[in-house]
């Protein structure tokens, strides 16, 4: 019975998404904005677990900076920003090479283009901040096309629809299986790639521990490994909302002096280039996501309610601490 209901639910989800891809591109930008605001507010009410995760994340990240009422407002806005991202992705077939600049403003792209040369082979390190889907589409329209790993849905019938939307500016999306190897091969051919690097990754999956708002978390080191293997520069980038419903894509300076850095230090440098933007305007980040799933054995400050002690994560922290101690002693001897 449960299996039959799942098949029916998956079919209904596919039909609903297919209808949305036909209808939403007919909407005006103003209508898309109001639809997303309503849908996001409703989702923040219905997804009580995600809402509580967002509140807990905001409390541990910012401490007393925001009163409880302000945290609730930011959490609700975070849902609304995510809803805008999804609605705008469904609307995005109306974006073209000729008109995308009317909706997406660029910052620092000319500097990045000069730094990477005519081939523009790069590793773009992205974050779940505001309209990360349009950041990807903008890269394709700017001729920074590449291969990108996609997260498959539990309902696999949705994958084809989302892949078509995400590939419309020239990217190629691939499944996670053997994905890193395919990214490596693409970069060797002077293509580009983009990775979302603010997701929690289990320590056994090539993760490194970084400080995120002063709390330890486990994130991917894939971008650092790819850079080490291919020499392609790492360019952090994020998208931020503008008051008139448009967006601004900001390309950060490339990560420098990487030959002297470990994978952990490269991942930390990427995050450090982005965190000030979240501190300035926190709402567009994906606060309902569990950014701190693991906590140290003896944390020096509170972690979110969902965080648990995990021995492999603790071992990773101990190794990092020992490495930093050894490097410090070697530096002092010099």
Q: pLDDT tens-digit profile of 148-168?
A: 888 888 889 999 999 999 999
Tokens for 228, please give them. 């080490």
* Alpha carbon distances (Å) from 93 to 169, 176, 220, 229: 9, 25, 31, 35
Mean pLDDT of the chain: 92
**pLDDT of res. 230:** 93
**pLDDT of res. 141:** 93
Q: What CATH number is given to the structural domain containing 198?
A: 3.40.1130
Which of 54-57's residues contact partners 24+ apart within 8 Å by CB, and which partners? 54/78, 54/79, 54/287, 54/288, 56/304, 56/305, 56/306, 57/287, 57/288, 57/291, 57/292, 57/304
pLDDT classification of 269: cutoffs 50, 70, 90: very high
pLDDT classification of 119: cutoffs 50, 70, 90: low
Which region, left, alpha or beta, applies to residue 170 given φ > 0 means left and ψ of -120 to 50 means alpha? left
In a domain, 40, yes or no: no
Q: Reply yes or no on whether the pLDDT at 331 is more than 60.
A: no
Q: Reply yes or no on whether the pLDDT at 130 is more than 50.
A: yes
Tokens for 272, please give them. 């450090």
- Provide mean pLDDT across the span 268-294: 97
In a domain, 226, yes or no: yes
Q: Reply yes or no on whether the pLDDT at 306 is more than 90.
A: yes
In a domain, 285, yes or no: yes
**pLDDT of res. 72:** 98
Overall number of domains in the chain = 1
**pLDDT of res. 333:** 54
**pLDDT of res. 66:** 97
pLDDT classification of 176: cutoffs 50, 70, 90: confident
In a domain, 318, yes or no: yes
pLDDT digits (tens, 9 = 90+) for 204-228: 998 999 999 999 999 999 999 999 9
* Cβ pair 199, 210 in contact under 8 A: no
pLDDT classification of 325: cutoffs 50, 70, 90: very low
- Provide mean pLDDT across the span 191-203: 93
Closest C-alpha among 110, 112, 104, 101 to residue 252: 112
Residue with tokens 């002096």: 257
**pLDDT of res. 118:** 62
pLDDT classification of 1: cutoffs 50, 70, 90: low
pTM above 0.85, yes or no: yes
In a domain, 252, yes or no: yes
In a domain, 7, yes or no: no
Whole-number Å distance between alpha carbons of 126 and 223: 10
**pLDDT of res. 117:** 65
Q: How many angstroms from the chain centroid is the CA of residue 6?
A: 29
**pLDDT of res. 334:** 53
In a domain, 17, yes or no: no
Tokens for 299, please give them. 């944390």
Tokens for 258, please give them. 């990487």
Tokens for 237, please give them. 């980038």
pLDDT classification of 55: cutoffs 50, 70, 90: very high
Task: Identify the three-state secondary structure at position 253.
Answer: coil
* Alpha carbon distances (Å) from 325 to 129, 207, 315, 318, 329: 34, 20, 15, 11, 6
Q: 124-162 as b/e, with b when 16 or more CB fall inside 10 Å?
A: bbbbbbbbbbbbbbbbbbbebbbbbbbeeeebeebeebb
* Cβ pair 198, 219 in contact under 8 A: yes
Q: Percent of the chain, pLDDT > 70?
A: 94
β pairing state of 172-174 and 146-149? parallel
**pLDDT of res. 245:** 86
pLDDT classification of 243: cutoffs 50, 70, 90: confident
In a domain, 284, yes or no: yes
Q: Reply yes or no on whether the pLDDT at 257 is more than 50.
A: yes
Q: Tell me the residue range of the domain where 141 lies.
A: 100-333
Whole-number Å distance between alpha carbons of 310 and 1: 36
Instruction: Among 66-75, 104-113, 118-127, name the one with the lowest average pLDDT.
Output: 118-127
């Amino acid at each position: 019975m449960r299996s039959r209901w799942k098949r029916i639910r998956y079919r209904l989800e596919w039909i609903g998404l297919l209808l949305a891809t036909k209808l939403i591109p007919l909407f005006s930008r103003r209508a898309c904005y109001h639809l997303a605001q309503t849908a996001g507010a409703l989702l923040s009410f219905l997804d009580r677990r995600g809402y509580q995760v967002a509140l807990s994340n905001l409390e541990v990240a910012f401490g007393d900076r925001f009163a409880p009422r302000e945290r609730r407002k930011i959490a609700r806005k975070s849902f609304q920003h995510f809803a805008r991202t999804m609605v705008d992705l469904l609307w995005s077939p109306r974006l073209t090479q000729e008109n995308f600049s009317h909706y997406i403003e660029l910052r620092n792209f000319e500097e990045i283009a000069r730094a990477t040369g005519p081939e523009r082979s790069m590793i773009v390190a992205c974050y779940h901040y505001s309209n990360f889907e349009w950041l990807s589409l903008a890269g394709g329209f700017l001729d920074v096309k590449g291969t990108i790993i996609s997260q498959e849905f539990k309902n696999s019938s949705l994958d084809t629809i989302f892949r078509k939307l995400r590939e419309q500016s020239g990217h190629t999306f691939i499944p996670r299986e053997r994905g890193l190897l395919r990214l490596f091969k693409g970069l060797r051919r002077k293509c580009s790639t983009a990775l979302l690097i603010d997701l929690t990754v289990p320590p056994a999956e090539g993760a490194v521990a970084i400080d995120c708002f002063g709390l330890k978390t486990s994130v991917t080191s894939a971008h650092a490994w790819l850079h080490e293997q291919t020499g392609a520069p790492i360019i952090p980038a994020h998208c931020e909302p503008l008051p008139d419903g448009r967006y601004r894509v900001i390309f950060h300076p490339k990560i420098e002096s990487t030959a002297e850095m470990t994978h952990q230090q490269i991942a930390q440098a990427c995050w450090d280039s982005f965190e000030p933007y979240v501190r300035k305007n926190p709402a567009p980040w994906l606060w309902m996501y569990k950014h701190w799933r693991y906590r140290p054995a003896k944390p020096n400050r509170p972690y979110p309610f969902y965080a648990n002690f995990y021995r492999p994560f603790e071992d990773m922290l101990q190794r990092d601490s020992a490495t930093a101690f050894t490097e410090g002693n070697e530096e002092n001897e010099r």
